[in-house]
């Protein structure tokens, strides 16, 4: 059984050749992105077995994505190709010093992945792992994708552990309906990752981790990401387990994109290894630090024995 399967849209990503506005940057370097495939690429690099289920166009960008993701050791045999729709792409600018603000321009409307549905996605392959990792981005891609998310998150016997990263992307929801859908989807998951900022933007829930937990009591594990401060994990079992908080690492940030995915990968890696909550959070922060200090979405996580030495709780 494969450890983790992730399903979602991946895109060829264009990283700016220099800082500045989208209007001014003259050249871009090709890389790969896609929140869900980022998670499995990092997990595969960290020694887990992983599969990505997605849909790309029958075009060169689709070839590039499939080849690059496979290059991380991820199983791509269930990725389907759409002869009629293109692979999505997106461009972004460098974060402004201080605020990190940057521009993102998606060219993904009508993409091959936006046509994913229960009829053209291999559901058995999606459900064949110990963990199925999904994100709220998919729910914003189309009505079909939203229906697919409801199918995959429905309770059923033998369902894999369902991991859900809320990944609220406000620009996608401008045309996609109500981001409260993300709350419904999160309620059906076993492990949920959500940023404090996302809970405020998408659901109007402010007041910190406890308030978010009160709005989302169902998942067995809820991880609230608090940006540079750290992250808090709430667990329902064993009963009355107090929330665990771990501060984030201080690093010189090169680009924040992909850091949330790396965090999820670190947390899931430690979950698969049966580590306690605080160590799972520490692995999340450590993997995120690697992504934060690289220009693209993806960075190699630290080797497992090194990560274990850095995150062990003994003497903490
Ligand atoms: O988490 C990183 C992703 O946001 C990036 O790779 C692009 O998947 C992406 C999206 O839809 O924003």
Tally: H helices and E strands in the chain: 12, 14
- The total number of structural domains in the chain stands at 1
User: What was the pLDDT predicted at 244?
Assistant: 96
pLDDT for residue 315 is more than 70: no
User: What was the pLDDT predicted at 39?
Assistant: 98
pLDDT for residue 316 is more than 70: no
The CA distance from 263 to 255, in Å, is: 14
Q: Which residue has tokens 């009963």?
A: 239
Question: What pLDDT digit, counting tens, does each position of 145-203 carry?
Answer: 999 999 999 999 999 999 999 999 999 998 888 999 999 999 999 999 999 999 999 99
In a domain, 239, yes or no: yes
Query: 280: which residues sit within 8 A by CB, 6+ positions away?
Result: 233, 266, 267, 270, 271
User: What was the pLDDT predicted at 297?
Assistant: 87
In a domain, 106, yes or no: no
User: Residue 228 to residues 93, 193, 248, 256, 289: CA-CA distances in angstroms?
Assistant: 21, 15, 6, 11, 11
In a domain, 97, yes or no: no
* Ligand 1 atom closest to residue 137's alpha carbon, by position in its atom list: 11
Closest by CA to 29, choosing from 296, 256, 254, 294, is: 296
Query: DSSP readout, 41-92?
Result: HHHHHTT--EEEE-EEESSHHHHHHHHHHHHTT-B-TT-EEESSSPPPEEEE
The CA distance from 263 to 180, in Å, is: 24
Q: Which residue has tokens 């922060």?
A: 285
Is 261 among the residues known to form the active site?
yes
Percent of the chain scoring above 90 in pLDDT: 86
In a domain, 98, yes or no: no
Question: What pLDDT digit, counting tens, does each position of 23-60 carry?
Answer: 999 999 999 999 999 999 999 999 999 999 999 999 99
**What is the extent of the structural domain holding 276?**
4-8+35-83+119-311
Question: In the structure encoding, which two tokens stand for residue 16, read together?
Answer: 């700016």
Query: DSSP readout, 21-48?
Result: -TTT---EEEEEE-HHHHHHHHHHHTT-
CATH number at residue 126: 3.40.1190.20
Closest by CA to 264, choosing from 124, 170, 137, 142, is: 137
- Taking the centre of ligand 1 as the mean of its atom positions, its distance from the CA of residue 194, in whole angstroms, is 15
pLDDT for residue 249 is more than 80: yes
The CA distance from 277 to 267, in Å, is: 9
In a domain, 295, yes or no: yes
The band of 256, judged by pLDDT with boundaries at 50, 70 and 90, is confident
CB 151, CB 143: distance < 8 Å: no
User: What was the pLDDT predicted at 250?
Assistant: 93
Q: For residue 192, which phi and psi values (nearest 5 degrees)?
A: -125, 135
Question: What pLDDT digit, counting tens, does each position of 111-140 carry?
Answer: 999 999 999 999 999 999 999 999 999 999
User: Residue 58 to residues 39, 75, 192, 301: CA-CA distances in angstroms?
Assistant: 24, 18, 33, 31
Predicted ipTM of the assembly: 0.95
Candidate from 167, 258, 291, 294 with most ligand 1 atoms within 8 A of CB, to mutate? 167
In a domain, 130, yes or no: yes
- Taking the centre of ligand 1 as the mean of its atom positions, its distance from the CA of residue 41, in whole angstroms, is 14
- Is 35 a pocket residue for ligand 1 (Cβ < 6 Å)? yes
- Is 169 a pocket residue for ligand 1 (Cβ < 6 Å)? yes
- Is 296 a pocket residue for ligand 1 (Cβ < 6 Å)? no
Q: Are strands 11-16 and 50-53 parallel, antiparallel or unpaired?
A: unpaired
* Cα pseudo-dihedral 258, 196, 148, 55, rounded to 10: -10
In a domain, 257, yes or no: yes
Per DSSP, what are the bridge partners of residue 51? Answer: 5, 75
pLDDT for residue 70 is more than 60: yes
- Taking the centre of ligand 1 as the mean of its atom positions, its distance from the CA of residue 29, in whole angstroms, is 16
In a domain, 101, yes or no: no
Mean pLDDT of the chain: 95
Closest by CA to 300, choosing from 72, 108, 120, is: 72
- Is 257 a pocket residue for ligand 1 (Cβ < 6 Å)? yes
User: Which of 261, 297, 308, 314 is an active site residue?
Assistant: 261
């Amino acid at each position: 059984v494969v450890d983790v399967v992730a399903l979602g849209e991946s895109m060829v990503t264009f990283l700016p050749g220099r800082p500045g506005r989208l209007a001014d940057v003259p050249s871009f370097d090709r890389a790969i992105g896609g929140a869900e495939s980022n998670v499995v690429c990092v997990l595969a690099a960290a020694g887990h077995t992983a599969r990505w289920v997605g849909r790309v166009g029958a075009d060169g960008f689709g070839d590039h994505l499939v080849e690059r993701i496979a290059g991380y050791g991820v199983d791509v045999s269930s990725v389907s190709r759409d002869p009629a729709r293109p692979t999505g792409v997106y461009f972004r600018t460098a974060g402004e010093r201080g605020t990190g603000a940057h521009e993102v321009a998606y060219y993904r409307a009508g993409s091959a992945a936006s046509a994913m549905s229960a009829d053209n996605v291999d559901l058995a392959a999606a459900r064949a792992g110990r963990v199925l990792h999904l994100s709220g981005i998919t729910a914003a891609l189309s009505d079909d994708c939203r229906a697919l998310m409801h199918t995959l998150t429905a309770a059923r016997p033998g369902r894999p552990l369902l991991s859900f990263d809320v990944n609220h992307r406000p620009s996608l929801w401008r045309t996609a309906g109500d981001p409260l859908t993300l709350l419904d989807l999160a309620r059906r998951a076993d492990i949920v990752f959500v940023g404090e900022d996302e809970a405020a933007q998408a659901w109007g829930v402010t007041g910190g981790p406890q308030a978010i937990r009160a709005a989302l009591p169902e998942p067995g594990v809820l991880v609230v990401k608090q940006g540079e401060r750290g992250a808090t994990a709430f667990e329902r079992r064993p009963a009355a387990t107090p929330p665990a908080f771990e501060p984030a690492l201080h690093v010189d940030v090169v680009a924040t994109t992909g850091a949330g995915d790396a965090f999820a990968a670190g947390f899931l890696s430690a979950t698969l290894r049966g580590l306690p909550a605080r160590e799972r959070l520490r692995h999340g922060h450590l993997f995120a630090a690697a992504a934060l200090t690289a220009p693209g979405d993806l960075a190699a996580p630290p080797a497992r024995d090194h990560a274990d030495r850095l995150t062990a709780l003994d003497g903490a």
